[in-house]
Amino acid sequence: MQVVYSCCAGLDVHKANVVACVMITGSHGEVQSQTKTFGTFTGELLALSDWLRQQGVTHAAMESTGVYWKPVYNLLEGVFELLVVNAQHVKAVPGRKTDVKDAEWICDLLRHGLLRGSFIPAPAQRQLRELTRHRANLVQRRAQGVNELQKCLESTNIKLASVATDITGVSATEMLSALLAGQTDTESLAELARGRMKSKKPLLAKALEGKVQPHHRLILSQLLADIGWLEEQIQEVNVEISNRLKDHQQWLERLDEIPGVNLRIAEVIAAEVGTDVKPFPTAAHMASWAGLCPGNNQSGAKRHATHIRPGNRHLKSALIEAANAAGHKKHCYLRAKYRRLAGRKGKKRALVAVARTILQSTYYMISRGEGYKDLGENYYDMRDPLQLARRLSNRIEKLGFRVTMEPLAHAA
């Protein structure tokens, strides 16, 4: 096979060490190979970088699972042409599995140009990714705290959730804080209601009557403190994300036009995909990378059922959330698509299909610099209205009625 890179390196990255193999191809085709093991502390990784430079390495490929590739990539970025490859794509021959053999195999594949690197965005986008993913974790932890708060209130016979829509709202929080401070008069607690909650004071007085034990007070006070602290953290992260995307506000507003996509999901798309779709040749490539396309499992001209492909789970979850919202939004194409597929394929598959449509729409909007154009809720009906009319009339005739169809004057 043709040698593409005459001096390259393969790195097998682990938590505590990195095994590096360098292959140098001579002018007559002879190959010199050197293998060395380094630690993963910063000083040891800098020593790895110096050693690779001394060997004349220009390209390096690394294989790793988890997040262990990140410190290596951060220190070698800008010095060498780096490829992070999927561990499943570079499996060596069974029975020859050692760290040294893995590094040699990766280097040999890279030397012949047989490796395809994963999509690694620029440092600014990687930092934005970490912020949006951290915010998602904070939101999940807050939701967990709210659920624990609800369970604890139920054990005290306080039915606040039966009256208040949000037990962490302003009115509910003030009532719970006063209750924990020692206030036991339910009428006085109900007077703390604000806004539309004022009309529910009689119900609130009944709902706030319970039996709060000392251990309940301890648990409730800690949960309220945790929820308040998490809300402050989420707000702080929101401000930082907004500052980093302040030059792309028009871009975010354009994505916000898509049904189901709000500002937070648009920020996730910006962090995971980027504000430029050049790394993806087509919209289908982007959907495949995100894991929103069906897997292939065909043998003997028979197709077997498969799940969707693995992909970027952070982007996928955000788009599924957007698809769920779009499926309940009236008078839009995405809702029509969801309802069309949910009856035949099921709700989950319909959500995946709508999420893929949202991502593909995002691709074309970014690449063309255009706004969102909704096809309309009657898009599928208007593709062939005569066929739809025949199908509906056949169903009516099966019920024992005669159907006569005449076009309306304005439809003629």
User: Among 246, 267, 247, 245, which Cα is nearest to 256's?
Assistant: 267
Report pLDDT digits (tens) over 133-147: 999 999 999 999 999
Mean pLDDT, residues 266-271 taken together: 96
Contacts of 307 (CB under 8 A, 6+ apart): 295
What share of the chain has pLDDT > 70, as a percent?
98
Mean of the pLDDT values across residues 171-188? 90
Answer yes or no: is pLDDT of 403 > 90: no
Tell me how far apart the alpha carbons of residues 363 and 341 are, in angstroms, rounded to a whole number.
Answer: 23
Kind of pairing, strands 59-63 and 7-13?
parallel
* Contact of 316 with 287, CB cutoff 8 Å: no
Residue 49 has pLDDT above 70, yes or no: yes
Q: Which residues pair with 77 in a beta bridge?
A: 80
Is 3:59 a contact under the CB 8 Å cutoff?
A: no
Please give the Cα distance from 341 to 219 (Å, whole number): 45
The CA distance from 4 to 170, in Å, is: 65
Identify the pLDDT of residue 69. 92
Question: Which pLDDT score, from 0 to 100, does residue 386 have?
Answer: 86
CATH number of 7-111: 3.30.420.10
Span 277-287, pLDDT tens digits: 999 999 999 99
Distance CA 217, CA 383 (A): 62
| Spatial distance between the Cα atoms of 194 and 285, rounded to a whole number of angstroms | 51
Q: Is the CB of residue 239 less than 8 Å from the CB of residue 214? A: no
Residue with tokens 């308040």: 228
Residue-wise pLDDT tens digits, 215-247: 999 999 999 999 999 999 999 999 999 999 999
pLDDT digits (tens, 9 = 90+) for 311-329: 899 999 999 999 999 999 9
Position 90 pLDDT exceeds 80: no
Rounded distance, CA 168 to CA 182, Å?
19
The Cα–Cα gap between 203 and 201 comes to: 5
Q: What is the pLDDT of residue 332?
A: 93
Is it the case that residue 412 has pLDDT exceeding 80?
Answer: no
- Does 92 score more than 90 pLDDT? no
Residue 209 reports pLDDT greater than 80: yes
Mean pLDDT of 121-135: 95
Of 142, 174, 143, 176, residue with least CA distance to 159: 176
Nearest partner of 172 among 207, 213, 139, judged by Cα? 207
- As a whole number, mean pLDDT of residues 260-266 equals 95
Closest by alpha carbon to 366, among 238, 263, 280?
Answer: 280
Paired strand residues for 9 = 22, 60
**Amino acid letter, 304:** H
The ranges of the chain annotated as CATH 3.30.420.10 are 7-111
Sole residue written with tokens 């197709």:
303
Let me know: does 107 contact 32? Beta carbons within 8 Å. Answer: no
Q: What is the mean pLDDT of residues 175-188?
A: 90
Pick the CATH number of 124-244 from 1.10.287, 3.30.2000, 3.30.70, 3.50.50: 1.10.287
Q: Which of 173, 374, 349 is nearest to 260 (CA)?
A: 374
What share of residues in the chain are helix, strand, coil (percent, to 5)? 55, 10, 35
Q: Which amino acid is it at 357?
A: T
Confidence band of 410 (pLDDT split at 50, 70, 90) = low
Task: For residues 331-340, give the mean pLDDT.
Answer: 93
Average pLDDT rounded to a whole number, residues 3-23: 92
Measuring CA to CA, which residue among 340, 361, 362 is closest to residue 350? 340
Q: Which tens digits make up the pLDDT trace of 384-393?
A: 888 888 888 9
| Separation of alpha carbons 19 and 40, rounded Å | 10
Average pLDDT, the chain: 91
**Cα separation, 84 vs 198, whole angstroms:** 59
What gap in Å lies between CA 117 and CA 119, rounded to an integer?
7
Mean pLDDT of 191-208: 90
List the single range of 56-60, 211-215, 236-240, 296-300 with lowest mean pLDDT.
296-300
**Per-residue confidence at 95, pLDDT binned at 50, 70, 90?**
low
Residue 411: strand, helix, or coil: coil
**pLDDT at site 93:** 62
Helices (H), 245-262: 249-255
Q: What is the pTM of this model?
A: 0.87
pLDDT value at 411 more than 60: no
Tell me what the mean pLDDT of segment 21-49 comes to.
92
